[in-house]
Structure 1
Amino acid sequence: MSYKSILIDQLTACYNDQSWFLPLEDILKDVTAEEAATENNNKQTIWSIVNHLIFWNEKWLGRFKAGEFVLNHEINNDETFSLDPNQLTDSGWKETLSRLEHVFRDWRIVLEETDEMKLTKQLPEYFNAPWWGVVSNLSIHNAYHIGQIMLLKKQIRAFNP
């Protein structure tokens, strides 16, 4: 089994392949814009976590495509969870879901087309980690937040049956 096949399997399991846990696409398919924007006691929303996932998946995909990058220490991670009040509509939610689908699809395509050697290339600007390790950790990050989204959905539906 290659790094490439493992990474594709991990990203697919996160987004749309039922494996050890319900994939993100299935969790979100019946979530309304209103539910996605509902805050819990910690001011978290499904929508803000989805925005965070989109941000980091797009950021790392862009870096992967470029092959090299400069770490931007000015990124405020809290801002990656931000919501635009003007976008909190049904159409805004559909756009968000479309971006999410596209970034996971694009990751799969890029990985399928990637030479295995690229995945072993170490990144001096990122702790000398190899690309396969970075992408694998991105999947772990995705899985962590997918769990949060599932819990938020259950909370929202428990209080608003």
Structure 2
Amino acid sequence: MAYKSILIDQITACYNDKSWFIPLEEILRDLTSKEAAYKSDEKQSIWSIVNHLIFWNERWLERFETENIIMSSTINNDETFYLDPNCINEHEWKKTLIRLENIFSRWIEALEKCEESKLTKVIPDYYGAAWWGVVSNLSIHNAYHIGQIMLLKKQMKDN
């Protein structure tokens, strides 16, 4: 089985390849910083969810590249959604979008360069999971939040 091509397909579907759902890049393309930071009844804004996706994709890419899977118990997942209210402006939103694009591009590059055997390697001390499963679940995590972002955008535009 060619895990590499499947994982690359999953990551590109999440970011910029329209297939079963609208990819993240397309959803975010026309949003202003004010719209991205907008909250109605929701706990998070689109921007805060994007920050969360950047955090976990960067964290797992670092682990993938270094094969250092030390799990820190000090990570408070709620903090990964943080958005500094003093930094809501077009410049900062653009920087966030560049970081997002960069992390998805870096994932594709890392997967293209890796040997297929790395993807079947079991990660010690991580539930007996192989890399292909972890990266696939990361894509599922991305898709889940992309759905949230799409709904938030629709709610915002409908109001």
TM-score by length of 2: 0.98
**CA offsets per residue over residues 64-116 of structure 1, 9 Å max, x none?**
00013211111000000001122211000000000000000000000000000
1:99: which partner in 2? 99
1:20: which partner in 2? 20
1:43: how far off?
A: 2.6
**One-letter identity of the residue aligned with 2:89:** T
1:84: which partner in 2? 84
1:9: how far off?
A: 0.1
2:57: which partner in 1? 57
1:122: how far off?
A: 0.6
**One-letter identity of the residue aligned with 1:98:** I
1:124: how far off?
A: 2.1
Contact 1:50 1:100 in 2 (8 A): yes
1:156: which partner in 2? 156
Gaps of 5+ in 1: none
**CA offsets per residue over residues 40-65 of structure 1, 9 Å max, x none?**
20332000000000000000000000
Runs of 4 or more off by more than 3 Å in structure 1? none
Structure 1 vs Structure 2 CA RMSD: 0.8
2:48: which partner in 1? 48
Gaps of 5+ in 2: none
**One-letter identity of the residue aligned with 1:57:** N
